[in-house]
Structure 1
Amino acid sequence: MLKNYLKTAWRNLIKNKAYTIINIGGLALGMAVTLIIGLWMEDELTYNSYFSNREEIAQIYQSENFNGTIGTGPAIPRPLEKALREEYGDNFKHIVMSSWSTSQYLEYMETSISRDGNFMQSEAPDMLDLNILKGEKDGLRDINSIMLNQSTAHALFGNEDPIGKIITVNSESPMTVTAVYEDIPVNNSFKHLSYIVPWDKYVASMEWVKNSEDNWGNNSFQMFVQIAENTTMSSISAAIKDVKKESGEDIAEFDPQLFLFPMEEWYLRGNFENGKQVGGRIKYVWLFGIIGVFVLLLACINFMNLSTARSEKRAKEVGVRKSIGSQRGQLISQFLSESFLVVMLAFLIAVFIVLISLDGFNDLSRKGIEFPWSSFNFWGISLIFVLLTALLAGSYPALYLSSFKPVRVLKGTFKAGKYASMPRKILVVLQFTVSVAFIIGTVIVMQQINFAKNRPVGYDKEGLIQIPTFSEDFTGKYDLMRSEFLASGAAIEMSSSSSPTTRVWSNRNGFDWEGKPEGFQEDLAWTDVSPEYAKSLNLKIIKGRDFSREFASDSAAILINETAMKYMGLTNPIGILLKDNAPTDPDPPVKIIGVVEDMVAQSPYEPVKQAVYAFNREEYTNFYNLRLNPKQSTSQNLAIVERVFNQHFPGLPFQFQFIDEEYGKKFAAEERVGRLSGIFTALAILISCLGLFGLTSFVAEQRTKEIGVRKVLGATVFNVWNMLSKDFLKLVIISCFIAVPIAYYVMNGWLQEYPYRVILKWWIFALAMIGAMMVTVVTVSFQAIRAAKSNPIKSLRTE
């Protein structure tokens, strides 16, 4: 029986080629979008799945209150480790202190490379359950050992056995390679962990780290933990909540509260607002999941509309089948079999579309998704997906067509009825409601990105590069290198800084100044800079003066930004002293000598943070900032800069970043969302137009004789076009008026997440409505004009 159903279905598909192409093509596009989104969602939802202990791993986070605003993050003080080990050690299987990921120069013989990695305590490889390819898992037991991932080991040693080899880190520390571990896949939080160096080496080589052993106010470290068996994240969080507050240090005013943030939530739910977890990338997972469902729904609507539109052509077939004894259940099975065949063919085409577009999608989404050929789960879910789609797409046509009365059909008195087209009209309205909402959403996303991109950043990004200076080779050479770079003609100014231009690496508090409000809890973004910093970035001095090498006293001077001046309550800040109120070993007071224009160094979607630029002390130089010569080409400047660099640092790889590119990376996530939304919106519109095209062709076919009569009686092409187009245009207009308030509500809610955001304007919605109507007119016009231009003699002979 099933074989006969499928044979009949195949004959119907072959007989109506145009209908088949539109139906299968639309479904294939919809299914391809859904498959790609499904693979993307699976990759997002399985982030950090590489780590076998992920359900037990967490990072210690803390929340602190600054003047009524609670900030939450992973930065913790070093003494916390001792407190947790001594008082709560039974709750943890592993406690691992860690530095932040930093780029280091790794050198072996004539090879020198730069890689990102961490200083971590010896339990890290076991906690992360790294796959050790060579060497030992406890490879961090010696202070001068280093563990490398496979790609870093290959870059340094080629095919040589790396175990036992000596490499130099930052031209300073000889380290013995004790293990090589498998590269951590890209969809994991530790994907950049190219090397691991013992934590004890970090303490021994960095004086400030050593001095922070008992300093509860220095939140400059990370801590990862694996909880013990028979415990829970929530119970441990409750137990350790007030450990920092009870330390005896004068930090209770900030109300610090500790908690465990599970690894499973790092990636998707990492946003906190005023101390509360408020989601994160999970919103994009749901967004694209909803888009996938709706795009598939649009394709299914096409199938339903086209199937029911052809009802009169299938009416006699239904009448004959019923008259010879077919039951309604058998007819439903027949039409569902046709639906299954169409969906199955569409699925095969969709798989092909996914295969040829996956590389481009990976480039666009910054993913490494592979088609899961060998995944039993994927094929099982795909089968369910095909069956559900076939049922969704075919159920209404099957029920509708099988309900025809055989007597009326065979007598030739069957008419679809006055309201028979109403369900199709409702479905068309639904299709274009979704499409118009997608258009509006995409336009607003791109508007928000461009709004933030065009925000004044307070400095000149063009022609500015930064060179990382983490190696000991750079120590004490700033003045020399500045002279060399300027003399080369490739740079017109140069400075150094402790933080990159587009980020803030250090935040400080614990200062007093004249006029400071009682109980005020300051939080200052702190960057140590050379005297030429403002000149190299073209920062504008709006009060006071810039640093000057002519004044010896400037070694104890600072610049602040406009926001800091307002934040500190200063109307005339020049000459005000900032005094470090640390209980032990406080820094000398520093004097404000100038105020610079606000500079966007963190998120371009957030207000500028209060910032201090302190006269640079040599040990805090992490970057050279070069303003390239605008009178020469960029390539020429870079070639000269590289030559000068190699003359003084022949053993180090020349690395640099364009500041405008680094700043542009801040928009990467939103831009990817915008591009993907744009692509999916275009496909949704295309699918809707395919259905509209098919419906128009059937309407024109059904009214062939009427069109012929009208033309004989003098109707013009415009009259016929207007007759066929106006009904569809009315439906799209209705869709627009439904879509606009829905889109406004959703996108206005989305924009509330950004303090610095675009204002929704009426023309965005008007443009989307006009665009949808124009697309409708173009789609309908092709068939309408074709029908209007047909020979009326042939039209009148059709019956």
Structure 2
Amino acid sequence: MLKNYLKIAWRNLTKNKGYTIINVGGLALGMAVTLIIGLWINDELSHNNYFTHKDKIAQVFQSQSTNGQTFTGNAIPRPLEVAMREDYMDNFKYVVMSSWTTPQYLKYGETSLSRNGEFMQRDAPNMLDLKIIKGEKDGLREINSIMLSESTATALFGDEDPIGKTVEANSQYNMMVTAVYEDIPFNTSFHDTEYLMPWEKYVSIWEWVQRSADYWDNNSFQMFVQIADNTTMESVSEKIKKVKQINDPELVEYNPEMFLLPMEDWYLRSRFENGKQSGGRIKYVWLFGIIGVFVLLLACINFMNLSTARSEKRAKEVGIRKSIGSQRGQLINQFLGESFLVVLFAFVIAVFIVVLSLNGFNELARKEMEFPWTSPGFWISSLLFILFTALLAGSYPALYLSSFRPVDVLKGTFKTGKHSGLPRKILVVVQFTVSVAFIIGTVIVMQQINYAKNRPVGYDKEGLVQIPTMSQDFTGKFQLMREEFINSGAITEMSTSSAPTTRIWSNRSGFNWEGKPEGFQEDLAWTEVSPEYAKSLGLKIVAGRDFSRDFASDSTGVLLNETAVKYMGLENPVGKFITDSDVEDPFEPMKIIGVVEDMIAQSPYEPVKQGMYVFDRDENGSFYNLRLNPNQSANQNLAIIERVFKEHFPKIPFQYDFVDEEYGEKFASEERIGRLSGIFTTLAILISCLGLFGLTSFVAEQRTKEIGVRKVLGASIFNVWNMLSKDFLKLVVISCFIAVPIAYYVMNGWLQEYPYRVILKWWIFALAVLGALAVTILTVSFQAIRAAKSNPARSLRTE
């Protein structure tokens, strides 16, 4: 029986090669999109699965309120560690203090390189369950020890055994290699942890870290924990909620609340609004999941439409088989078998498409996914996927075709019925509703990205390069390097700063100024800069003047940005003073000498944060900011800069970043989503057009004799085209009327997440509608004009 089903299915498929190609091709495209989206979603959901204790690991977050707004982040004060260990340790298996991810210059012999990593406490390797390749897991017990990732160890030592060898870090201290661990995979939160050093070393290096031991208002650190087996994240969060207020009652006005964010939420649900968890990347998982389902549905609709449209061709077969005793269930099985065969072929082609496109998709989506050839779970899921798709695509045609009455078919009185085409019309409307909505969504995403990209950044990012200066070798050499670089002709200006141009590393409060409102809780971005900062960046001074080395008093001067002036409620701010409210350790009053134009240092989708730029007296900032000579090529300038750099810092690898590229990274996530949406939208339209092409072909074939008669009676090519096209155009117009309000509602809700956002305009929707109509006309016209140009004599002889 099964053999006969397969034979009949195969004969039907090979007999109608054109429709088979459209069916298989459309399904293959739809399944390929669904497969690749499925791999992407699996990669997103499996983030941090590498860590054995993922369900027990968390990071300590805190929420604080200022002026009625609640802000949430992962920066915590250092004294929290002592409080945790003394008062709450029963709730934890491990408590681990950590620095932020920090680049270090590592040197062994003649090899010198820059690698990212953290200073963490001794229990970190056990908490993360690092896979040790050489050495010991307890590799951070000595203050001068270092653990290296496998790739870093290979880059430094080659084939040598690194254990026990000494690595020079930042030209400042020698560290002994105690362990080499397996590279942490890319789809984890610690993928860029290429070394680990002891927390105690971090404390010993930096005096400000030592001073922070008793300051609850200095939120400059991270804490990771693994909770005890007999407790839950929620219960521990509740217990530690008020720990900061208990230990420092003066901070109660900010209502600081500590809580645990589980590792499983770090990647997908790390967004907070006014103190409440409000999603994150999980919205993209849902978005692409929905896209995958709809694209597969579009492909299945093609199959349904073409199968039911060709019902008259199969009517006699159904009538004969029923008259000789075939049951309806057997016919249903037959047609589902054909569906299964088509889907199976399509799946094989889909796998081939995915394998060929996976590298390009990884590059576009910034992933490192591999096709799961050896995963039993994948193949079991694939089998279920094939069965589901076959059932989805074949159920309606099977039920429809098997319902024909044999007596009507064999008498020649069979009619498909006045409304037999209605389901097909509904399915076409669904197809183009989805396609038009996809077009509108993609256009709006790209509009939003371009809107933020075109926003004035407040400085000239073109031709601006920053060099990290983390090593002690840079101490006291700013003036020398500035003169050397300028004299080389490669740059026109250079400055230092305590943070990169495109980020804010420090926020401070506790300031007083004339006219400060009672109870006002200030929060200002703090950046220490050399006097040349504004000139090197191209910052515009809108009031007062810039820092100058000609005025010794500028060492206690400060520049405010425009937002800070409004935020602080200052009128005519130049000449006014800002003082410190800390009576135990106050700084000298700072005189406002100028106001600079707002500069985007955080998200380009958010308002500019109020900030202050203070004089860096030591000129030992974390970055050199270099303005390249515009009269020479960037490559020429960089070659000269590298040569001068190596003359003074031979042990340090030359490392630099173009600020415009760093700024561009702020759009990377949205741009990836936009490009992916564009690709999937194009494929959705292609699949819809394949179905439309097939239906048009069938209608033209079905009405061959009618077309011949009309041409003999004088019908023009336009008349025939209009006859075949108008019904399809009506359906697409209906689709547009349905798609536009749906897309508006969804995309307007999406845009609400961005304070700085594009305004939805009518032409976006009009463009999508015109595009859909144009694609429909092109698709239908090919077959319509071909039919209209056919020889009427041949048409009239056609049975």
Q: Same fold (TM over 0.5)?
A: yes
Confirm or deny: 8 A CA contact 2:496 2:620 kept in the other structure. no
CA distance in 2, matches of 1:655, 1:309: 64
Aligned to 2:329: 329
When residues 552 and 249 of structure 1 are mapped into structure 2, their CA distance, relative to the original with a 3 A threshold, is farther
SS of residue matched to 2:631: coil
Q: Which residue of 1 aligns with 2:616?
A: 616
Map of 2:585 onto structure 1 = 585
From the superposition, tell whether residues 169 and 249 of structure 1 become closer, same or farther in structure 2 (CA, over 3 Å): farther
In the alignment, the residues of structure 2 paired with residue 320 and residue 443 of structure 1 have an alpha-carbon distance, to the nearest angstrom, of: 53
- Matching residue of 1:571: 571
**Deviation of 1:619 (Å):** 6.6
Q: CA deviation at 1:584?
A: 3.3
Q: In 1, distance between residues paired with 2:660 and 2:264?
A: 34
The residue number in structure 2 matching 1:716 is 716
Deviations 1:432-475 (A, max 9, x none): 00000000000000000000000000000111000110011100
C-alpha deviation, 1:591, in angstroms:
1.3
> Is residue 746 of structure 2 the alignment partner of residue 746 of structure 1?
yes
Residue in structure 2 matched with residue 253 of structure 1 by the alignment: 253
CA contact (8 A) 2:530 2:619 kept: no
Instruction: Please state how far the C-alpha of 1:618 moved relative to its aligned partner.
Output: 2.6
- Quote how far apart the aligned CAs of 1:583 are: 4.5
Name the residue aligned to 1:34.
Answer: 34
Q: How does 1:627-776 map to 2 (within 5 A)?
A: 627-776=627-776
SS at match of 1:618: coil
Q: String of CA shifts for 1:554-600, please: whole Å, max 9, x gaps.
A: 11111010000000010111122221222533322211110000000
- 1:270-318, Cα deviation, whole Å (9 max, x unpaired): 0000000000000000000000000000000000000000000000000
Query: In structure 2, what residue type is equivalent to 1:730?
Result: K
2:303 alignment counterpart: 303
The one-letter amino acid of 2:276's match is: K
1:792 & 1:468 partners in 2: Cα distance?
78
Q: What does residue 318 of structure 1 align with?
A: 318
Aligned to 2:200: 200
Mapping 1:223-302, distance limit 5 Å: 223-302=223-302
Could you say which residue in structure 1 is the equivalent of 2:15? 15
Which whole-Å deviations, capped at 9, do the CAs of 1:667-702 have from their partners, x for residues lacking one? 000000000000000000000000000000000000
User: Which residue number in structure 2 is paired with residue 481 of structure 1?
Assistant: 481
Structure 2 CA distance for partners of 1:451 and 1:155, relative to 1, 3 Å: same
| Secondary structure at the counterpart of residue 167 of structure 1 | strand
Q: Which runs of 5+ in 2 are unaligned?
A: none
Is the Cα contact below 8 Å between 1:216 and 1:249 reproduced in 2? no
**In the aligned structure 2, how far is the partner of 1:745 from the partner of 1:146?**
54
Contact kept in structure 1, 2:62 and 2:256, CA below 8 Å: yes
Structure 1 equivalent of residue 521 of structure 2: 521
Structure 1 stretches of 4+ with a deviation exceeding 4 A read none
Q: Distance in 1 between matches of 2:254 and 2:210?
A: 25
1:167–1:175 contact (8 Å) kept in structure 2: yes
Give the direction of change, closer, same or farther, for the CA distance of 1:619–1:529 in structure 2 (3 Å limit).
closer
Match of residue 141 from structure 1: 141
CA contact under 8 A between 2:437 and 2:739: conserved in structure 1? yes
Aligned residue for 1:392, secondary structure, equals helix
Write the distance in 2 (CA, Å) between the matches of 1:79 and 1:635: 48
Query: What's 2:541 paired with?
Result: 541
In structure 1, distance between residues paired with 2:185 and 2:618: 37
Q: Distance in 2 between matches of 1:690 and 1:374?
A: 34
Instruction: Find the aligned partners of 2:624 and 2:371 in 1 and give their Cα distance.
Output: 44
User: Contact (CA 8 Å) 1:430, 1:735: kept in 2 or not?
Assistant: yes
- Any idea what SS the aligned residue of 2:743 has? helix
Q: In structure 1, give the amino acid aligned to 2:757.
A: R
Name the CA distance, whole Å, in 2 between partners of 1:665 and 1:687: 33
Equivalent residue number for residue 77 of structure 2: 77
Helix, strand or coil at the partner of 1:525? strand
Q: CA deviation at 1:121?
A: 0.5
- 8 Å CA contact 1:171–1:471 kept in 2: the answer is yes
Aligned position for 2:400? 400
Whether the aligned pair in 1 keeps the contact of 2:494 and 2:627 (CA below 8 Å) is yes
* Separation in structure 2 between the aligned mates of residue 13 and residue 90 of structure 1, nearest angstrom: 68
CA, structure 1 residues 619+258, in 2 after alignment: closer, same or farther (shift >3 Å)?
A: farther
Q: Is the 8 A contact 1:464 1:659 kept in 2?
A: yes
| Whole-angstrom distance in 1 between the partners of 2:7 and 2:173 | 76
**Greater mean deviation of Cα atoms: 753-762 or 247-256:** 247-256
Match of 1:158 in 2: 158
Deviations 1:140-199 (A, max 9, x none): 111010111001111100110000000111000100000000000000000010001100
**Partner Cα separation in structure 1 for residue 588 and residue 180 of structure 2:** 46
- Aligned counterpart, 2:597: 597
CA contact (8 A) 2:478 2:620 kept: no
Report the residue type matching 1:514 in the other structure.
E
> Aligned with 2:250: secondary structure?
coil
- SS for the counterpart of 2:130 is coil
Preserved contact between residue 241 and residue 258 of structure 2 (Cα < 8 Å): yes
1:721 is matched by which residue type in structure 2?
W
The answer (yes or no) to whether the contact 1:576–1:592 under 8 Å persists in 2 is yes
2:77 partner SS:
coil
The Cα of 1:237 is off from its aligned counterpart by 0.6
The question of 1:209 aligning with 2:201 is answered no
Within 2, Cα distance between the matches of 1:190 and 1:631? 42
Structure 1 distance, partners of 2:620, 2:333, is 76
Q: Which one-letter code corresponds to 2:339 in the other structure? A: S
One-letter amino acid of the counterpart of residue 220, structure 2? S
Rounded to whole Å, the distance in 1 between the matches of 2:583 and 2:412 is 99
Match of 1:438 in 2: 438
State how far apart, in whole Å, the 2-side matches of 1:271 and 1:304 are: 42
Report whether the alignment pairs 1:51 with 2:51. Answer: yes
TM-score calculated relative to the size of structure 1 = 1.00
> Does 531-540 or 609-618 show the bigger shift?
609-618
Tell me, in whole angstroms, the C-alpha distance in 2 between the residues paired with 1:594 and 1:194: 42
Tell me how many residue pairs correspond in the alignment. Answer: 799
- Three-state SS of the structure 2 residue aligned to 1:212 is helix
Q: How far apart in 2 are the matches of 1:230 and 1:652?
A: 49
Whichever residue aligns with residue 421 of structure 1, its letter is G
User: C-alpha displacement at 1:14, in angstroms?
Assistant: 0.5
Give me the whole-angstrom Cα distance separating, in 2, the residues matched to 1:127 and 1:588.
44
- Contact kept, 8 Å, 1:528 with 1:620, in 2: the verdict is no
The residue type equivalent to 1:795 in the other structure is: S
RMSD between superposed Cα atoms in Å? 0.7
The amino acid that maps onto 2:651 is G
Aligned identity (percent) is 75
User: Does the CA contact (< 8 Å) of 1:491 and 1:626 recur in 2?
Assistant: yes
The CA distance in 1 between the partners of 2:472 and 2:374, in whole Å, is: 49
Superposed CA offset, 1:78-117 (max 9, x none): 0000011000011100000000001110111111100111
